[in-house]
Chain A
Amino acid sequence: MSYLLAFLIGGALCLVAQIVMDLTRATPAVILAGSVMLGAIAAGFGIYEPFARIAGAGATVPLPGFGFSLVSGLIKELPKEGWVALFSGAFKATGAGIKAALIFGLLASFVTRARA
């Protein structure tokens, strides 16, 4: 059941993003940045967490889930660290994914031949 929900809901998020991009003719980068911001705002209103509990990876794998992680990491640190968490909190939950992408990107550029 969790697999079906991940497929349907994750697919639906991508479908909406695709339709918005085709209708507005925005560049992919605009759509990606916008969907991270929307995910962060939805997380701020407390909507994204119950949504993620139902959809599983269907909610956390697409980029709005990245926005959700930014916010939930920050909110978790707020009671402990106060205003400092506004600056340090967001990377606590998302740092792993970002660093993984950068490391693998650098490694891939080292081992592949430069394309002319």
Chain B
Amino acid sequence: MEPKEYRQRVKRLEKPRPIVRNAFWAFVVGGTICLIGQLVQSGLMAIGYNQETVKAPTSIIMVFLGAVGTAFGFYDRIAKLGGMGANLPITGFSNAVVAPAMEFKQEGPIMGTGARIFQVAGPVIAYGLLAAFAVGIVRYAIMGFKP
């Protein structure tokens, strides 16, 4: 079968996605997770963190919540419903690190857990760093390459 023909056949057989329903649940789930993030951030600021120092502990706590949810298996259920609403927040980044780390344990601690732990996080970090590098060079040029 020609690749083009194959793609057309796959496209015909694929179920049409419920775009509106997916978008609705992404909104609800993603919004709720961000609301929890805001609660964590406000709570930390109430005990003395300021606008600058609150960022790191907020990420750590959100990552922790995502990791616990993943370890107990309910984050996957949230993700099935919420799609990008569960994947796009930093809790989803945590899920993308923790889930393969657990899943590939059977392939060993080094080439299983150790290698697969970056399966999704790796590309996200690599391309994020590339974009930040490009933006940084432009900024540095504007500064006249000084200091």
A residues at B contact (CB < 8 Å): 2-3, 6-15, 17-19, 21-23, 28-29, 31-37, 40-41, 43-44, 56-58, 60-63, 65-67, 69-71, 74-75, 78-83, 85-87, 89-90, 93-94, 96-98, 100-102, 104-106, 108-109, 111-112, 114-116
Contacts and interface: CB of A to CB of B under 8 A. Distances in A.
B93 A66 contact: yes
Contact of B93 (A8, A9, A87, A101): A101
Given A13-B88, A86-B133, A61 B67 contact: no
Contacts of A97: 56, 59-60, 62-63, 90, 93
A43 B84 contact: no
Question: Helix, strand, loop or mixed for chain B's interface?
Answer: helix
B56 A71 contact: no
Contacts of A82: 140, 145-147
A11 B31 contact: yes
A14 B58 CA distance: 19
Given A100-B59, A101-B98, A28 B87 contact: yes
Contact of B88 (A2, A63, A109): A63
A35 to B, nearest CB: 7
A10 B131 contact: no
Given A78-B139, A90-B132, A17 B34 contact: no
Given A22-B23, A63-B89, A94-B59, 10 more contacts: A7-B31, A9-B34, A10-B89, A14-B30, A18-B83, A19-B19, A56-B41, A63-B124, A65-B90, A109-B109
Contacts, number: 274
Contact of B124 (A11, A29, A108): A29
B139 A105 contact: no
A69 B135 CA distance: 12
20 contacts: A3-B38, A6-B35, A10-B37, A12-B31, A14-B26, A14-B88, A29-B123, A33-B124, A40-B128, A41-B135, A57-B40, A58-B34, A60-B55, A78-B139, A78-B140, A80-B147, A82-B140, A101-B67, A112-B71, A115-B105
Nearest to B137: A86
Interface of B: 17, 19, 22-24, 26-35, 37-42, 55-60, 62-64, 66-67, 70-71, 82-85, 87-94, 96-98, 101-103, 105-106, 109, 113, 117, 120-121, 123-140, 143, 145-147
